Amino acid sequence: MQAYIKKMVTERDDLKGKISKCKKALENPPYGSDQEGMNLLETQVGFMEQYLDVLERRISHEEGKK
């Protein structure tokens, strides 16, 4: 596997972990969280998931070029 693809895979795996942690925080808000902060976190998760989708498509594209 090419080095740049490995970097994208590492980034993807890291991002999946971050998304998971954010979703857990949405399910069980940390002490002191307010509604606006939770709304912003929910928006952030949406963007992170979109970024993850594009990243996975890039990985598939690059792996398919072989």
- Side chain identity at residue 66, one-letter code: K
Write down the pTM of the prediction.
0.91
Gap between the terminal Cα atoms of the chain: 10
Q: Is the pLDDT of residue 66 over 70?
A: no
Q: Following DSSP, what letter does each residue of 35-59 receive, concatenated?
A: HHHHHHHHHHHHHHHHHHHHHHHHH
Give residue for tokens 């792996």.
63
- Quote the CA–CA distance of 12 and 52 in Å, as a whole number: 7
The pLDDT tens digits for 6-62 are 999 999 999 999 999 999 999 999 889 999 999 999 999 999 999 999 999 999 999
